[in-house]
Structure 1
Amino acid sequence: MQGFICVFGVLELPVFVTLRPGFWQFSPMRTRRPAAEQLHADELCRSRLENQIDLRHPLVQLSHRLPWSALEQALSPQLPATTGTGGRPALPMRLIAGLLYLKHAYDLSDEAVCARWLENPYWQFFTGEVVFQTCVPCDPSSLTRWRQRLGEAGMEELLAHTINTAHTMKAVDARELSRVIVDTTMQEKAIAHPTDSRLLEVARKKLVLLAKRHGIVLRQTYVRQGPGLSRKAGRHAHARQFKRMRKVLRRQRTILGRVSRDLQRKLAQREPSVRERIGVWLARAHRLLTQRPKDKGEFNSDSQRC
């Protein structure tokens, strides 16, 4: 194909540049080119990462062993097809796969892995960068969207390539892959401390809510007085004014007893299914009203046992 010759005079030195026909046209791409193929002009003279880091680092060794091309070919069918020629191209597959691996290897969030990638040259080399970058690789929300695109099958493919690479590097033995060890570490649940004041107020709210949901009109709901008494009991307990706190608790028990008895009287005219559903919470309210601090099997929470 014949080209065009352009001559530019710079400091009286002619420079010849060959421009091919159609050089201004760009073909649509679904993903960006690898970092080594899209270096900017100001990055060509910068020192490459491989000249600055220790090539014996585990991440460097792993980056040479992982089959990035095979991984990209395996994950490409999981991605939606490109329907238009415009818009910003997608992130490179190696960058996304590398960030997902680093996220799970170091137990980080999406925001933390992007922030640490910016500071760590080994992480940048692992994800395919050639020179040190000073901007975050992507928005943290992009990782969420990529996980949704890949789906369960794509994540399993990524895990399979990781295991195969570990087996090839003799990092794991075949016998270790014959069974799966599930992490069953116990974690504390986000349950509030079982104070009497809170339990009484929660029981009152639940009974009022159930009555309203089934069209039962109560004589009085104490919707304004109840939360105020709960806050007052907490303030008295914090100030170690236990006599005043017990007075507030007696008032809360009186209110809960009135609401539960009123609801029980009007529940007799309802359907058996409604009586059964509300009867569970009436039994819990009765248990709260009758239990004492040293009773066995004390009711400590409306949803969990402590």
Structure 2
Amino acid sequence: MINSHPSSKPYDVAVVGAGSAGLQAAQTLGRMHRSTVVIGTDRYRNDPTGHMHNFLGHDGAPPAELRLAARKDAEAYDDVRFLDAVGAGVTRITGGLGDFLLEVEREEPVRARRVLLATGVRDTLPDVPGIAESFGALVAHCPFCHGHEYAGTRVGILGSAPHVAAMASMLQPIAEDRVVLTNGEALDEATAGHLAALGARVVTDPLVAVREECAGLVVALAGGAELALGGLLVKTEWKQAAPFVGQLGLELSDVGAVVVDAFGRTSVPGVYAAGDLAQGPGLPMPMASVLVAAAAGMMAAAACVQDAALARLS
């Protein structure tokens, strides 16, 4: 725990969030000798999973292990300090590109010249008993993160929207068999046609429950039938995990992500965003990946440094 700087000396940057995006941002800012406070808790989007995948040099490592090492790296820089607390609110306290005041639960308020949001999003899983208990391992939402672990098995894809056909196509070289579970919903004609052409089976019965059995899953269907799977891919609904986006009035994309440029700059000068909460130019949605989030954190931190340097020249 630390106390905030005196009001006469704000931090150069307040990083809110201590996942991969926030930790990489902190390291980058520390290396550039920018006074930085990282406000974060021990709650993360990938808490349910025991191992992360598709990350350079860390494939199969526990996410907590990476965060611990990353925090140790950032803490080695004298200009970086961590505040293990929940951020409650943020307010702009001067006009133009000025200072921000961050309210922190059970701590003194923190002032900063710039704010870098890395607070992530919160998932809501499909309302089927058993899915939450297996989410992060035998149930997942990303084939890039978990698809390989289902190789050679029958893989279920839960949903009826057009994306299920693309998912079935991506899994074709991985899965021995693919089954689309529409959970009682109807497929549109084009999606049904694509699945038929891919040789993917379609089961329309509603799901009653999902349970783990014999290193795999068993899906219980309405009517009493059961289906054994090696893994199940689902689509989660998500929303911003923290209130700061609304408090600052940041522009959002059609899917509810913070709109940023290639360097993580938001629609509000002095505010940057990185990680799962942000959507960069040309992307249809945030790219939910630990590696991408870390890279975005580095880019946003670099923008903080560059923008401050240019401001001093103007």
Please give the range of the TM-score, normalised by the shorter of the 2 chains. under 0.3
Question: Larger helix proportion, structure 1 or 2?
Answer: 1
Question: Larger strand proportion, structure 1 or 2?
Answer: 2
TM-score where L is the length of structure 1: 0.21
Question: Which of these two proteins has the greater Rg computed from alpha carbons?
Answer: 1
Q: Which has the higher contact order (CA 8 A, sep 6+)?
A: 2
